[in-house]
Amino acid sequence: MERIFSGVQPSGIPTIGNYVGALKQFVDLQNEYETYYCVVNQHAITVPQNPAKLREQTRSLAALYLALGVDPNQATVFVQSDVPAHAQAAWMVECLTPLGQLERMTQYKDKVQKQQSVQAGLLTYPALMVADIILYQANLVPVGDDQTQHIELTRDFVDRFNRDFAPKGKEILTRPERYTPKSGGRIMSLQDPTSKMSKSDSNQKAFISLLDEPKQVTKKIKSAVTDSSGVISYDPEEKAGISNLLTIYQAFSGQTLASLVDQYANSGYGQFKADLAEVIISVLEPMQAKYQKLYQSSDLDDILRQGASQAKELANQTLADMEAAIGFSYKL
Ligand code: AQP
C-alpha cells in the first residue's frame, strides 16, 4: 500500500483554506493509503508563539483532524515533537542542503517581510519539512499550492541522498509526489483576493476558521471583497473575489463551477453569498459538535500516544538507515 504523510502547523485555528487545500484530502485518502497525519508543532515555533496557546492549539488541531473524519483506526495521528526523529533527521537534511536553495523559498521571503526579527528556523524550516516527509517514505503528500517548492526541495534532496549515500542500485529514501485538489489548492483572503488565506492573518475578516460560529461565517462571507459588476462568473484575473468564493462554494458543496455559475446566472451577490454561508455552515456545524467532545476527552491523549508510538517505529527505522548511510554508525 502506498504511503501518505501530511501535517498542519498549530499556529492558529485552521481556516477553510487549510481545509480545502489539505485537510479535506486527509479524510478522502485514508481508505486508499497508509496515512500519517501529524500536528507539526515544531514548524509553528519558526515565528514567536505563546507557550500556553501553542499547547492548546496543538491539542485543538489534533481534535479537529478527528472531528473532520480522520479515523485513528486507519490513520496514524500524532504530534511532531513526540517523535524526536523529525528533529534528528532535519539536522542531516540541513547539513546536506545548499543555503541558496533555502533562500529561494518564496514562503520564506513572504514570511520574512511580516516579521520584525527573523529567527534562523524560518529559513531552515523547509529542511524540517523534508525530514517529516522522508522519515515515513511517503509516496504522496497532500498539500496546498503554497507547498509546491517545499515538495520539490524534498524530491531534490531524496535524489541527492540516494545518489551520494545509497549502495549502488538501491534507494534509501522514497521520492514523494505532491497531491493537490483539482481546484482549491489556493484559497484566497476574503479581504484581499490577491493574497492567500492564512490562519495567522491579523485581519480576522480575511479568513473563516473551522471553529467560527455560524453568525461569524455569515458575517465574514457577507463582507468578503467582490466587485461592482454584480455578475457571477469565474474569472480569477478580472473577478478575483467572486472567483475565490465560487471555488470555496465548489469545494464545500461538491457542485461544479459551471453548475454554480448557471445556478446564479440571474441572482445578485447577496443571494449567492447567503447560500454560500449556509453551505459552509452545514459542513462546519456538525464537525464542531464532534470537536468539542473530542477536545475535552482523554481519548484524544490515548490516540496521540498510540499514534506517536506507531510513527516512531517507521521514523526511527528510516533515521537509522540514514545515519548508517552517512557514517554515524562507527562500531566495528
Ligand atoms: N489558502 C490556502 N488554500 C489552500 N491550501 C492552503 N494551505 C494553507 N493555506 C491554504 C495548506 O494547508 C496546509 C497546512 O498549512 P500549514 O499550517 O502547515 O502552513 P501554511 O501553508 O503556512 O498555512 P497558513 O494557514 O498560511 O498558516 P500560517 O498563517 O501559520 O503561515 C498546507 O498543506 C498548505 O498548503
pLDDT at 270: 95
pTM score, whole prediction: 0.94
Question: Among this protein's residues, is 168 annotated catalytic?
Answer: no
Spell out which residues line ligand 1, taking CB within 6 angstroms: 8-9, 11-12, 15, 17-18, 20-22, 143-144, 146-147, 185-187, 196-200
Choosing from 25, 47, 107, 146 the residue with most ligand 1 atoms within 8 A of its CB, the one to mutate for a pocket test is 146
Whole-angstrom distance, CA of residue 299 vs CA of residue 305: 10
The per-residue pLDDT for range 81-138, each reduced to its tens digit, is 999 999 999 999 999 999 999 999 998 888 888 878 889 999 999 999 999 999 999 9
pLDDT, tens only, 271-307:
999 999 999 999 999 999 999 999 999 999 999 999 9
- Active-site entry in 114, 168, 170, 199: 199
Among 53, 109, 111, 219, the active-site one is 111
* Ligand 1 atom index nearest CA of 145: 35
- Is 196 one of the catalytic residues? yes
- Give the Å distance between the CA of 61 and the centre of ligand 1: 13
The residue to mutate among 8, 113, 154, having the most atoms of ligand 1 within 8 angstroms of its beta carbon, is 8
CATH of 3-185+298-326, one of 3.60.20.30, 3.30.300.30, 3.10.20.600, 3.40.50.620: 3.40.50.620
Going by the DSSP 8-state scheme, the letter that residue 21 receives in this structure is I
Does the annotation mark 239 as catalytic? Answer: no
Name residues of the chain where pLDDT drops below 50: none
Q: Are 284 and 217 in contact (CB under 8 A)?
A: yes
- Which listed CATH number (1.20.58.110, 3.90.1720.10, 1.10.240.10, 1.25.40.10) goes with 214-291? 1.10.240.10
Burial 228-264, CB ≥16 within 10 A → b, else e: eeeebebebeebbbbbbbbbbbbbbbeeeeeebeeeb
Domain ranges of the chain: 3-185+298-326, 214-291
